Amino acid sequence: MTSYRSTIRRAALAPAALCAALVLGGCAGQSGGSAGHTAHDSASPAAAASSAAASSAGSAHNAADVSFARDMIPHHRQAVEMADLAVTRASSAEVRKLASEIRKAQDPEIRTLSGWLTAWGEQVPARGAGHHSGHTMPGMMGEGDMSALENSSGPAFDTAFLKLMTAHHEGAVAMAGTEVAEGAHRGAKKLARSVISSQTAEISRMRSSARG
């Protein structure tokens, strides 16, 4: 009789023990899965950023990309220098506004282009390199043009600025077009397209202001 009751108790306890084991196992599995998921999620932003950086740094580039960066840096520097003159010399509010926008756009682009050259193991042009005299980039001003702009003010400055900056922008657009056609670096080609879009729009504004 005792043996019979013991057998019944063991039979009754077995499903309960099995259930407990399954519950504990399920919880452990769920906990492990949750921990793994949490670890994965917390690592995802850093992993994504690292992957993006590696992709950008490893983006293929060629000689056209290097030439574009090397030439556009002094080209942009001269545009920024011209824009700086407008702060104290321009009489037109539109010219001052345009000059401010040019500086705001081209200063960061200079830093970006410089960063690419450094990453590619190339030398960043020193300040003054290709500047004014002896330049080969389209649209760059010579010493005479720059001196004339520096020595003018008021409406005469506005007229000279619009004329010279229009030619300067046209040169930048041509350089950017070459990069789009011949470059390989994704970032450089994207920047070149941005230069074409933004500076073509500014050329239209300057021509309109010059006529007005």
The verdict on pTM exceeding 0.75 is no
Q: pLDDT band for 211, please (50, 70, 90 cuts).
A: confident
113-132 tens-digit pLDDT: 999 999 999 999 998 655 54
Token readout for 28 is: 């452990």
**H or E segment to which residue 166 belongs:** helix 154-182
Predicted pLDDT of residue 135: 57
Helix axes 93-119, 154-182, angle to 10 degrees: 30
CA distance 90 to 151: 12
Token readout for 209 is: 């202001």
Least Cα distance to 165 among 91, 101, 73 occurs for: 101
- Whether 179 contacts 192, CB under 8 Å: yes
127-141 tens-digit pLDDT: 865 554 455 788 998
Token readout for 75 is: 């080209």
Q: Average pLDDT in the 52-56 region?
A: 42
